[in-house]
Each structure stands twice: as C-alpha cells, then as structure tokens.
Amino acid sequence: MLTPSKRKFIEFMMGADVLRFGQFVTKSGRHTPYFVNTGNYKTGLQSSRLGSFYAELIHETVGGEFEAMFGPAYKGIPLVTSCAGALARDYGLDKPFFFNRKEAKDHGEGGSLVGYKPQDGDRVIIIEDVITAGTAIRETMPVLESCAKVHVPDMFISVNRCEVGQTPGKTAVMEVKEEFGIRVHALVTVQDIHEYLQETGLYADLLPMMEAYMKEYCVF
C-alpha cells in the first residue's frame, strides 16, 4: 500500500535522480526499465534526509536492539554514515558503525574494516541500497563472519525489487531470510513504485515494460 511516507521517499529518490526510468542492467544481469543508484546522492541535505528515512524505519522496527551498523563498500558507506547520524540526532541512539574496504590495507593499522571493531556476540544490522537477486548480501556475509562471531538479525534497504533469487518461486528477500536468518526491511517496494506511477501518470510509456518485467521476475 502506497502510504504518504512511501510517496515522500519515492519523490525524494526521483528528485535526487536516484530512482531512474529507462533501460538499465542490474548487477545480476537483468535488463530492467527502472534502476536505483544511490551513488547519485551528492549533497549534505540529501544525505541528511536519506539518513532520516532510514532512521525512522529502524526506530519503528528494531528500536535500539542492536550493537552496531555495517555498510558494505562502496554504496553502503555513505548510507550507514548518514543513518548513524540521523539515529543519534532524531532518536538519541548513538550507535557505532563500520564498513569494509574492497581491498585490505597493508600499512598503518591494516585490515579491511574501518570504524567500529565488532565483538563476538554483537548484533549487527546491515544498511544497504537494494536487493535484486541477493548477490550483494552473499558477498557481504563472509566479510562480517570473518571479523567476529556476530549475529545479523536485520537488514535495511531503500527498495525491495521483489525479484526471484536463485530458487524459482522465491524472492531474494525470502532466500536471505532462509539462508542467513536475516529479516529485510525496505523503505519501499517495486509495487509501491508501480502504484505511484499509476497514480501520478508519470512515465506512462514505461509502465507496460515495467509490468512485463515484474511479471517475468517478481514474486508477490
């Protein structure tokens, strides 16, 4: 259901040129008529507002029941940073965060992690952009599992594309829950975006392509 807060977030993404419509290829190799590129957030105000959207969802779902936040390189880095700031500013939850380097540093303190050093038993939530086929989370979990015996109960994303993962009939979100025990919380879903376009009449020429894509790849 398209709520006012979801509508506001969709318009925020479109205004920042993060939610785009046209012809794109996802990380999993699927040709898609819409794409979410959080790398297009580029101002302080955008970062602050984005953090507030994520912080509100986190506060509503898990509150402060976690020890740290992790942002996978590269796009998860500004996401987790803005989210940590918003949680402290808006809700008084001053939680540590950390992220990884794609390549381990061989000088100074070395290592592949930056920021908080996770401890055994920590509950760590992941801050990411989207889930399509689950490729990114399968790359992220070994990074977390190698640094400490952490528990990852929840993951927060901008958009759930609701697409089938590696198992026919199951979305990547379903697979992540079954494979890793991680609950995925999204600010909006592809259904919300589709409903918004229908409601506003925007990109009417792309709606048939979007609907065909959803019919081929999405599971609801």
| Distance in angstroms (rounded) separating the CA atoms of residues 70 and 77 | 8
Q: Are 20 and 37 in contact (CB under 8 A)?
A: yes
Farthest-apart Cα atoms in the chain, separation: 55
> 34 with 21: CB under 8 angstroms?
yes
Strands 68-71 and 31-36, how do they pair? unpaired
Of 97, 88, 4, 83, the residue nearest 47 (C-alpha): 83
Which of the residues are catalytic? 105, 107
Tokens 């509150």 — which residue?
A: 63
Tell me, what DSSP letter sits at residue 58? H
Rounded CA-CA distance 121/154 in Å is: 15
For 111, the 3-state DSSP assignment is: strand
Three-state SS at 13 = helix
Residue 148 belongs to what H/E stretch?
none
93 Cβ partners below 8 Å, 6+ apart?
59, 64, 87
Residue in 217, 38, 35 with CA at minimum distance from that of residue 133: 217
